Chains A and B, each alone.
Chain A
């Protein structure tokens, strides 16, 4: 028999209960915002309007910060053991309601359900469990009671892993005794708002977690609020620089997790079939909306043709379509704006002289979609080899020797992550030592664990999230 087509296997949306419009979550309850400005939040796979969220104004931000200040008085005096219990409770509730969160994440953000179900949600719960365990061990761990929470932390998170980035930010902040004002991205606020319900359900003290929606203007109001003690931002390098400028001269803590253009180096002595898989996972995971995506494939010249042939064949099997279909590998591009950016850079790549390969696949009529794309014949000077595309687009460069591989890999303003593929252990160590990147994966890619610190070199940011180092981002030394 030929042409065995997988029938649709669509995850039911019934478990999700989306409100017609959302308020801000301040001081332990949803509150009528001062701002009258609402925007639609849509599903990027259907363009259907899911709900309305408010663009919070100065008064709303002020309310949230005040609530967090009041919350801080209680929370910082809550015993570490009690804080730990609250975090464990949140972790367990996330597990209990994980299917609901996963479906909502895929509807609102466009990522395939198999990823929100098998990656995002398990990681979200793992982060809360991990930092719940830390909450009552911090004093012991650094030997003296010299570390104090910042106070009110403003947290601004991106749209690529909406709930997971919330977990990366909220869990360590609460574990260390801070309170938060969190603003999700304007295209993906719904899971954060569902998390707010969870905070109510968990009986978290009022004012400890405050969630307000809005766009860049709201983000800037948070950054510039006089009573904010620390800002934690994940997003573009461009916005990161603006934040750093506005905070200059103020006693406000800052950690930035920004863009990337990671090199994925494949040596000729790699296990080729597994390297192909790793390269595919490195760039096409989450539609390539990943700051640490392996977006620059560095191939040793001797295996270029064989590798590219295998890679193109494998890419052809990627299933692009409805994010709620359990067999979908690549979902929708998060927004029209992002789709335009990807298309612009890809067109530049073609006119620069890059050779483009795109898989043959039918794209749905509505929604925002981009075919898995591979560029070969690319020179390091092309914009597709230098700029972060943040989409399902892989750029191939070649090298002759390990020295040259490292030079090309480091020839970028970014330094968030990198990958090395070889069966030779000594070569892995030699290469990893020389790569200027916060995370180096060897013979794998895109692996995360709450205990492993994550963060950038150069223009990819500073500060670490995750692990013991991640706690320090939310503490300051007091003599």
Chain B
């Protein structure tokens, strides 16, 4: 038990009941998601959407080749996404490996940009629990504001849901008040039922956010997966009164796609979810496309990438 699960006051048995009650009709679900994609977002509402997307971005680099220099570049971009248009405010966070948290933290200063670290042996999570805890504690001690962990897919696919739950509970306990985002890795889970089960387990274990993907698989986020997670978050709120957030990441590269996610969240969850506190995009190339679209709406010119500073 961690502070959050204690406050939620729900028992493992309650979660099991919900988890085994996961019934999803994939044909109907796909149809609904496709129909939401036909919304036509133009003019003012498009500009509002693009600005929201910037404010919800977790600008991310998660590579073996990441260095202090790379992190400095990215943080500068996170604070001032487009130096030619200072109306565009900073993104929500930068997301890095634990060893780069301290440098990121130093560079963001008091800009308001949060530092998120992936831990628990992202992206596979295939190590003993002690190692996951060490990894997480190291990131927190280095100053991370947010922690992105991966669920134990090995245990999940073997049907050991209790183990998945216990690990998240322990990692959230290590986090304390630090914001915990739990990555389901929907590309590994494959079915909508699995995504719903993993969502409910993660929420019940005290996650502040559930997140679609690591971005390391060929199958990243999808609006369908986001829809399943949105419904799980709503059902969890009905049960506990707690509003959890959703982060979509992996393969969201253009504004059009990102706006479709916003429409989905807006219509399925309501506009109270349209805030960086409850909805985020994991992004690397998405941000520049959004900046280009904002420039196009303002000036009519669609500019090349070299007009926008590297991140």
Pairing of A with B? yes
Q: Tell me the count of chain B residues lying within 8 A, CB to CB, of chain A.
A: 30
Of A1-9, A92-100, A137-145, A370-378, the one contacting chain B is A1-9
Contact check: which of A7, A273, A317, A443 meets B43 at CB < 8 Å?
Answer: A7
Contact check: which of A4, A118, A327 meets B40 at CB < 8 Å?
Answer: A327
Q: Is the CB of B42 within 8 A of A4?
A: no
Q: Is the CB of A271 within 8 A of B38?
A: no
Mark interface residues in B11-25 (1 if CB within 8 Å of A CB, else 0). 000000000000111
Q: Is the CB of B45 within 8 A of A444?
A: no
A173 within 8 A of B: no
Assembly CA distance A118 to B39 (angstroms): 13
B106 within 8 A of A: no
Of B183-191, B268-276, B282-290, the one contacting chain A is B268-276
Q: Which partner residue on chain B sits nearest A277 by CB separation? A: B32
Q: Is the CB of A443 within 8 A of B28?
A: yes
A332 within 8 A of B: no
Q: Tell me the count of chain A residues lying within 8 A, CB to CB, of chain B.
A: 26
Q: Is the CB of A6 within 8 A of B39?
A: yes
- For the complex formed, measure the closest distance between the CB of A410 and the CB atoms of chain B, giving whole angstroms: 25
Q: Is the CB of A4 within 8 A of B43?
A: no
Mark interface residues in A306-319 (1 if CB within 8 Å of B CB, else 0). 00000000000100
Q: Is the CB of B274 within 8 A of A2?
A: yes
Contact check: which of B23, B28, B43, B272 meets A444 at CB < 8 Å?
Answer: B28
Assembly CA distance A272 to B32 (angstroms): 13
- For the complex formed, measure the closest distance between the CB of A267 and the CB atoms of chain B, giving whole angstroms: 11
Q: Is the CB of A1 within 8 A of B48?
A: yes
Total contacts A-B at CB 8 Å: 75
Assembly CA distance A301 to B55 (angstroms): 45
Contacting residues, chain B, for A458 (C-beta < 8 A): none
Q: Which partner residue on chain B sits nearest A117 by CB separation? A: B38
Q: Is the CB of A274 within 8 A of B29?
A: yes
* Given known A-B contacts A2-B272, A270-B23, A274-B24, A118 and B266 have beta carbons under 8 A apart: no
Contacting residues, chain A, for B25 (C-beta < 8 A): 271, 274-275, 423, 443
Mark interface residues in A258-285 (1 if CB within 8 Å of B CB, else 0). 0000000000011111110110000000
B104 within 8 A of A: no
- For the complex formed, measure the closest distance between the CB of B233 and the CB atoms of chain A, giving whole angstroms: 12
- For the complex formed, measure the closest distance between the CB of A278 and the CB atoms of chain B, giving whole angstroms: 6
Q: Is the CB of B48 within 8 A of A272?
A: no
Q: Is the CB of A272 within 8 A of B45?
A: no
Contacting residues, chain A, for B262 (C-beta < 8 A): 4
Q: Is the CB of A444 within 8 A of B40?
A: no
User: Which of A1, A269, A444 is the most central at the interface, judged by chain B CB atoms within 10 Å of its CB?
Assistant: A1
User: Which of B25, B31, B48 is the most central at the interface, judged by chain A CB atoms within 10 Å of its CB?
Assistant: B25
B244 within 8 A of A: no
Mark interface residues in A1-26 (1 if CB within 8 Å of B CB, else 0). 11111111100000000000000000
A148 within 8 A of B: no
* Given known A-B contacts A274-B29, A326-B38, A444-B28, A5 and B23 have beta carbons under 8 A apart: no
B179 within 8 A of A: no
Contact check: which of A6, A118, A271, A444 meets B41 at CB < 8 Å?
Answer: A6
* Given known A-B contacts A1-B48, A1-B51, A4-B49, A9 and B27 have beta carbons under 8 A apart: no
Assembly CA distance A2 to B274 (angstroms): 7
Assembly CA distance A1 to B45 (angstroms): 12
Contacting residues, chain A, for B55 (C-beta < 8 A): 1
- For the complex formed, measure the closest distance between the CB of A271 and the CB atoms of chain B, giving whole angstroms: 4
Q: Is the CB of B39 within 8 A of A4?
A: no
- For the complex formed, measure the closest distance between the CB of A68 and the CB atoms of chain B, giving whole angstroms: 40
Assembly CA distance A376 to B29 (angstroms): 26
A89 within 8 A of B: no
B130 within 8 A of A: no
* Given known A-B contacts A2-B271, A317-B267, A326-B38, A7 and B28 have beta carbons under 8 A apart: no
B44 within 8 A of A: yes
Contacting residues, chain B, for A271 (C-beta < 8 A): 23-25, 28
Contact check: which of A269, A275, A278, A327 meets B39 at CB < 8 Å?
Answer: A327
A114 within 8 A of B: yes
Q: Is the CB of A277 within 8 A of B31?
A: yes
Q: Is the CB of B46 within 8 A of A7?
A: yes
Q: Is the CB of A269 within 8 A of B23?
A: yes
B291 within 8 A of A: no
B295 within 8 A of A: no
Mark interface residues in A233-247 (1 if CB within 8 Å of B CB, else 0). 000000000000000
Q: Which partner residue on chain B sits nearest A274 by CB separation? A: B28
Assembly CA distance A241 to B271 (angstroms): 51
Assembly CA distance A272 to B22 (angstroms): 10
Assembly CA distance A5 to B51 (angstroms): 14
- For the complex formed, measure the closest distance between the CB of B84 and the CB atoms of chain A, giving whole angstroms: 23
Contacting residues, chain B, for A4 (C-beta < 8 A): 45, 48-49, 52, 262, 266, 271, 274
Assembly CA distance A159 to B27 (angstroms): 30
Q: Is the CB of B24 within 8 A of A273?
A: yes
Assembly CA distance A271 to B25 (angstroms): 6
Contacting residues, chain A, for B267 (C-beta < 8 A): 317
Assembly CA distance A173 to B311 (angstroms): 65
- For the complex formed, measure the closest distance between the CB of B207 and the CB atoms of chain A, giving whole angstroms: 21
* Given known A-B contacts A4-B266, A273-B231, A278 and B28 have beta carbons under 8 A apart: yes
Contacting residues, chain B, for A118 (C-beta < 8 A): 38
Assembly CA distance A56 to B311 (angstroms): 71
Contacting residues, chain B, for A2 (C-beta < 8 A): 271-272, 274-275
Q: Which partner residue on chain A sits nearest B29 by CB separation? A: A274
Q: Is the CB of B40 within 8 A of A274?
A: no
Q: Which partner residue on chain A sits nearest B263 by CB separation? A: A6
- For the complex formed, measure the closest distance between the CB of B243 and the CB atoms of chain A, giving whole angstroms: 14
Q: Is the CB of B28 within 8 A of A277?
A: yes
Contacting residues, chain A, for B43 (C-beta < 8 A): 7-8
Mark interface residues in B85-107 (1 if CB within 8 Å of A CB, else 0). 00000000000000000000000
Q: Is the CB of A9 within 8 A of B42?
A: yes
Q: Is the CB of B38 within 8 A of A423?
A: no
Assembly CA distance A338 to B31 (angstroms): 30
Assembly CA distance A277 to B31 (angstroms): 9
Q: Is the CB of B40 within 8 A of A326?
A: yes
- For the complex formed, measure the closest distance between the CB of B148 and the CB atoms of chain A, giving whole angstroms: 24
Assembly CA distance A114 to B34 (angstroms): 13
Q: Which partner residue on chain B sits nearest A113 by CB separation? A: B40
Assembly CA distance A327 to B37 (angstroms): 11
Q: Is the CB of A274 within 8 A of B49?
A: no
Assembly CA distance A269 to B267 (angstroms): 25
- For the complex formed, measure the closest distance between the CB of A320 and the CB atoms of chain B, giving whole angstroms: 15
Q: List 11 A-B contacts (CB under 8 A).
A: A1-B274, A4-B45, A4-B266, A7-B43, A273-B24, A274-B29, A274-B32, A423-B23, A423-B25, A443-B27, A443-B28
3 A-B pairs with the lowest CB-CB distances in the bound complex, closest first: A274-B28, A9-B40, A326-B40
Extra pairs beyond A9-B42, A273-B24, A423-B23 (4, CB < 8 Å): A4-B274, A274-B27, A278-B28, A443-B25
- A residues with CB within 8 A of B: 1-9, 114, 118, 269-275, 277-278, 317, 326-327, 423, 443-444
